[in-house]
Structure 1
Amino acid sequence: MAVDVLTDVVIERPCAEVAAYAGEPSHAPQWYVNIESVVWRTPAPVAVGSRMDFVARFLGRRLAYTYEVAELVHGERLVMRTAQGPFPMETTYTWQPLDPHRTRMTLRNRGEPAGFARMSAPMMAAAMRRANRKDLANLKRILEERP
């Protein structure tokens, strides 16, 4: 069973500002509840082919994986993928200006769990949805509190 979780939020900040902050992988531990660290394997800045090692905690487990940037349209879309572990994952961010001062950001996680993870896919999707809502709320708070 595939997992496909789509979450969005409206942030009271210009699109370029939201995309610049959220699209910088080094910022992930500041706004993602479960991400503990990000270490670049390729030189910054983010570009197609960039690779970063992420360490996260999810459902009580420590996960270490490498994301590779598969697609990047600055200010509009960022797609990262990992093929590692029991749950290969694709994460997509999109940013859409609603007006000059508001942005709709979407966060989509999708993947095809393998092995034991396949049986727990519905539970993983629900937990991912809850975590994504918290993550986007954190991002909104961080960006809207900026001067």
Structure 2
Amino acid sequence: MKVDVLTEAVIAAPCERVADYAADPSHAPEWYANIASVEWRTPPPMTVGSKVAFIARFLGRPLAYTYEITAYEPRRRLVMRTAEGPFPMQTTYTWEPHGEAADHTRMTLRNHGEPSGFASLGTTVMATAMRRAQRKDLAALKALLEHRT
């Protein structure tokens, strides 16, 4: 069974600031509660084909996976898919100016894929946990960027 979770937030910061920060995997442990560490497998900066390894914790279990960047339009869209890991997953970020003065950013975070192994046994539970985690992560990103000078 497939999992598809889409979350969004409006952040009171310009699009270029939000996108530049969120698209840099090195910042992930600062706003993703479940990500403990990040290691570039290919040299930065981010380009299509770049690979980044993550160590995370999800549903109480350690999780190690490597994402490959499959699409990157700076300050607009970033798509990453599992290159190595327990199950195929794709994560997509989008950013667009929001508000009359375009001084806010609407960011979406979408994870979709088809879990296997232990994760396939409870896709409904997994989707609920992912949705909860994504909301918390975007709230953390929002708080971080709105209070940063």
TM-score, normalised to structure 2, is 0.95
The correspondence of residues 5-84 of structure 1 with structure 2, limited to 5 A, is 5-84=5-84
The structure 1 residue matched to 2:113, chosen from 107, 111, 124, is 111
Q: In structure 1, what is the Cα distance between the partners aligned to 2:128 and 2:22?
A: 23
Secondary structure of the corresponding residue to residue 28 of structure 2: helix
User: Structure 2: where are the runs of 5+ without partners?
Assistant: none
Separation (CA, whole Å) in 1 of partners of 2:84 and 2:41: 15
Could you tell me how far apart the structure 1 residues matched to 2:68 and 2:86 are? 17
Query: Where do residues 83-94 of structure 1 align in structure 2 (5 Å cutoff)?
Result: 83-94=83-94
- Does the 8 Å CA contact 1:83/1:89 hold for their aligned counterparts? no
Residue among 124, 142, 145 paired with 2:144:
142
Greater Cα offset, 81-90 or 100-109: 81-90
2:22 is aligned with what amino acid?
Answer: A
Give unpaired runs (5+ residues) of structure 1: none
> Match of 1:120, SS?
helix
CA contact (8 A) 2:65 2:86 kept: no
Superposition deviation, residue 116 in structure 1: 3.7
Write out per-residue CA displacement over residues 31-56 of structure 1, whole angstroms, 9 at most, x where no aligned residue: 00100000001000111000011000
Cα distance in 1 between the residues matched to 2:114 and 2:22? 25
Q: Answer yes or no: is the 8 Å Cα contact 1:13–1:144 preserved in 2.
A: yes
Aligned to 1:121: 123
Q: Percent identity?
A: 64
Letter in 2 for 1:13: A
TM-superposed deviation, 1:88: 1.2
Distance in 2, matches of 1:39 and 1:86, equals 18
Aligned to 1:102: 104
1:30 to 1:9, Cα distance in 2 relative to 1, 3 A: same
Calculate the aligned-residue CA RMSD, in Å.
Answer: 1.0
Aligned pair count reads: 147
**Matched position secondary structure for 1:33:** coil
CA distance in 1 between partners of 2:86 and 2:27 (Å): 25
